[in-house]
Structure 1
Amino acid sequence: MPSSRKAYKVMSDLVDKTGTGPIIDLGSGWGNFVIPIAKSNRQRQVIGYEMSTLPWLISTLLKQILGLSNLTLHRENFYHASLPAASVIVCYLYPQAMIKIQAKLLLEQPKIDFLISNNFALPALQPDAVIMLDDFYKSPVYLYKIADPGTIQYSAKY
């Protein structure tokens, strides 16, 4: 399920405040988020994970057409992948997936500085910010500092 434009904007703004390291999109789908984020952050490595064949093929084709050498797309189950260290993980998944991601981060402990989630919270971790979108559902975007890389500023209203 793709995120709304407002969610993309908030998530993109938050990603821009997470440093200069790699960006990982868990469930990158058709590339609706991972392609624009790779285009606007050409100095950063961007990594997407997607299991569904057709969305992965389309996003891979778009990556090639746009010449996004900073973008790597894996057709792989990210639960089984050895995630690299990254400045930020971005996701829009469902509650059970967030439980699995939380366990993966806490047990495997890859160096991840931030996690940004559209709509669904990590159940056992307190978010550092919850940004309520001005949309029909008043959707939340959650920001978690997984590591402590310093203070992040997030004052914009969406």
Structure 2
Amino acid sequence: MFIIIALILIIFILLMLVIGTIATGITPTPTSAAARKKIFEISSPHTPDSIAELGAGFGAMTFSYARQFPNAKITAYEMSWFPWMILLLRKLLFRYRNVYIIRKDFFKLDLTSHDFLYTYLYPGAMRKLSLKIHSHRKFTLVSNTFHLPDWSAAKKARVPHDLSSSCIYIYKKP
């Protein structure tokens, strides 16, 4: 009986991931430890008040930012059900008081209250994001791996010891 329940649970989780991938266009892809280290290294001079992780997945960066910036409000936007549930569970288990989890399409929301944005999106979503934030007031945006079309990065750094030779891009709008 235990094996049957475990199999049903695994199939349910896989189905939720597939549905989420179809809906969003990308699978939840965690930010590697090497990338997180590089991101904090090059973004450490910032003291944001409100951070948004756009497409938070399982929350690797959400909870890293919550620890790094305990006085900032961290908002994790995630549309896929299963990663969203994991985000909620992590928030409750570890009692992050500065983390807010929203299950909505951030492309349809006003992001102007955030002064710091983080994303690890695919190129098509980066094009869409480029248009969305064009009229956004002052902000810093950190992007893992994919650049923001039609914007010049203020800083670009390769992630050392990364198999995919990814880069971290920092964009600033004064």
> TM-score scaled to structure 1, two decimals?
0.85
1:19 maps to a residue whose letter is T
> How far, CA to CA, are the matches of 2:173 and 2:55 in structure 1?
19
1:113 maps to 2:125 = no
> How far, CA to CA, are the matches of 1:86 and 1:112 in structure 2?
9
> How far, CA to CA, are the matches of 2:42 and 2:95 in structure 1?
25
Deviations 1:92-120 (A, max 9, x none): 001110111110001xx333421100110
Larger helix fraction of residues: 2
1:55 maps to a residue whose letter is P
1:78 is aligned to: 106
1:20 maps to 2:84 = no
> TM-score scaled to structure 2, two decimals?
0.78
1:141 maps to a residue whose letter is I
1:153 is aligned to: none
2:148 maps to a residue whose letter is L
Deviations 1:35-55 (A, max 9, x none): 121123211110110000111
> How far, CA to CA, are the matches of 1:32 and 1:11 in structure 2?
12
> How far, CA to CA, are the matches of 2:51 and 2:142 in structure 1?
11
1:6 maps to 2:37 = no
> How far, CA to CA, are the matches of 2:85 and 2:148 in structure 1?
29
1:127 is aligned to: 153
Deviation (angstroms), 1:86: 2.1
- The equivalences for 1:58-69 within 5 A come to 58-69=86-97
Q: Alignment length, in residue pairs?
A: 145
| RMSD, aligned CA | 1.4
> How far, CA to CA, are the matches of 1:96 and 1:19 in structure 2?
29
Question: Is the Cα–Cα contact under 8 Å of residues 48 and 116 in structure 2 kept in the other structure?
Answer: no
Segments of structure 1 that go 5 or more residues without pairing to the other structure are 148-158
Identity %: 29
Question: Is the Cα–Cα contact under 8 Å of residues 144 and 167 in structure 2 kept in the other structure?
Answer: yes
- The equivalences for 1:50-65 within 5 A come to 50-65=78-93
Structure ID, larger Rg: 2
Deviation (angstroms), 1:33: 1.3
